[in-house]
Amino acid sequence: MTPATYLDLHRDDLVAVLQKLVRIPTVNPPGRSYGEITALLVRELSLAGLKARRFPISRALARRTLGADSLENPRYNVLGISDLGFEKTLHFNAHFDVVPAGGVWRHESPFEPAVEDGWIYGRGTADMKGSIASLLLALRALRATGTKPRCNIEVSFTADEETDSLLGAGWLVDNAHLRADYVVVMEGGEGSSIGCGHNGVVWLNVVVHGRPAHGSQPEHGINALEKMSALVLELESYKRLLSRRSFHTPDDRVMHPTINVGGVFAAGPGGKINTVPAEASFSIDRRVIATEMVAAAEKELRSFLTTAARRIPRCRITIEKVSENHPCYRDPSHPFFAAMAASVRRVRGGRPSFHVSTGFNDMHFFAEHLRVPTIGYGPIGFEMHGVDERACIADLITASKIYLDLMMTFGG
Ligand SMILES: [Zn+2]
């Protein structure tokens, strides 16, 4: 039997594995049930013939990075290796955390996955436990049919992608002594579109400081909201500046850096209808394109804000960094990308193309930190982070076949 036939005959096994994964509510924040899911993932990798282990994050590091509250929810990452004596190692990565689930779901509980008309519903089916199930079935198929890949296979399942990945993929690339020469992050591309990079981001919070006064005598105060409004208007010229910078993707799209202002905005403490606001704050989400550097983008934005505030009379601001993520991009002319495109074409037909996503994922840890060719590719999903998140079962099998094909044809 070929491994692909094995997959066609074991659709139900793939669904069963995915159901098991979704039933463990690895909701992040706060990062629940990581112990349970990583124990299961180590078992699954071992059954598929890999040498697998779990890395617990020390309490001291968790406290330092995430604060004392996080200690109730210990962090773990999983690493498996199948060392077949090859020189090169092909690595697959997925995160196992999911975003919280609210709203009214078609099948009631987002953590009791239901199957209907070829779809499987539940939190994480699309982002990205479906990818984990697809890969596990591909590994089972190799083992059951006695098929040898052309590289060593390394697999990581990591924590905290839905927050900042610091103790997930970020920790892994620094501490787990990976052997990865080539990486597939199993999201960030789907269908005939393969991910070869993504934007980065700088998140800042700007606090505008005024002076309170009684609402009946506004002339005695400095109105922080009015100063903030003036500052926000100044940002229009910064938007124009950003729109003149561009990056052409391999699939012929033009990407520009962007800012989103005030995803979060607030009056400071003591806000009352009859008080001149003493404080106002807003957030800025600055997307960093592949040709920019995060540090330079942050520096430029900070200096723009400081200069703009100086132009506004009595406008005093402080700028706080919330977080950042690096962009990544690799020209898809590298043979690894060609091999992935060939696998997608063989399994799916059509003409695959390469894109760069506006959102970020864990690819940059491998592409920028380890500096190895990294691809983003997974099964097609719907309503990620939304109500009725779901994955198409046929496409889970297709993704599984593509991973298999890559393992069987790409030798590095
Ligand atoms: Zn994801």
360 CA → ligand 1 middle, Å: 9
256 CA → ligand 1 middle, Å: 23
Biggest CA–CA distance in the chain, Å, is: 84
376 CA → ligand 1 middle, Å: 11
384 CA → ligand 1 middle, Å: 8
230 CA → ligand 1 middle, Å: 37
Q: Give the DSSP H/E element, type plus range, for residue 326.
A: none
Distance CA 282, CA 245 (A): 25
391-396: long-range contacts, CB 8 A cutoff, minimum separation 24:
391/18, 391/119, 391/120, 391/125, 391/126, 391/130, 392/118, 392/119, 393/11, 393/14, 393/15, 393/115, 393/118, 393/119, 393/120, 394/118, 395/190, 396/14, 396/18, 396/120, 396/130, 396/133, 396/134
For strands 353-357 and 254-255, give the pairing: unpaired
DSSP structure string for 68-118: GGGGGS--EEEEEEE--S-S-EEEEEEE--B----S-BTTB-TTS-EEETT
188 CA → ligand 1 middle, Å: 8
Which letter does DSSP use for residue 203 in this model? E
- The pLDDT tens digits along the chain (412 residues) read 999 999 999 999 999 999 999 999 999 999 999 999 999 999 999 999 999 999 999 999 999 999 999 999 999 999 999 999 999 999 999 999 999 998 999 998 999 999 999 999 999 999 999 999 999 999 999 999 999 999 999 999 999 999 989 999 999 999 999 999 999 999 999 999 999 999 999 999 999 999 999 999 999 999 999 999 999 999 999 999 999 999 999 999 999 999 999 989 999 888 899 999 999 999 999 999 999 999 999 999 999 999 999 999 999 999 999 999 999 999 999 999 999 999 999 999 999 999 999 999 999 999 999 999 999 999 999 999 999 999 999 999 999 999 999 999 999 9
Q: Which residues pair with 319 in a beta bridge?
A: 206
277 CA → ligand 1 middle, Å: 39
96 CA → ligand 1 middle, Å: 8
343 CA → ligand 1 middle, Å: 22
pTM, 2 dp: 0.93
CB 115 within 8 A of CB 15: yes
Predicted local confidence at residue 102, as pLDDT: 87
312 CA → ligand 1 middle, Å: 41
CB 85 within 8 A of CB 151: no
317 CA → ligand 1 middle, Å: 35
129 CA → ligand 1 middle, Å: 9
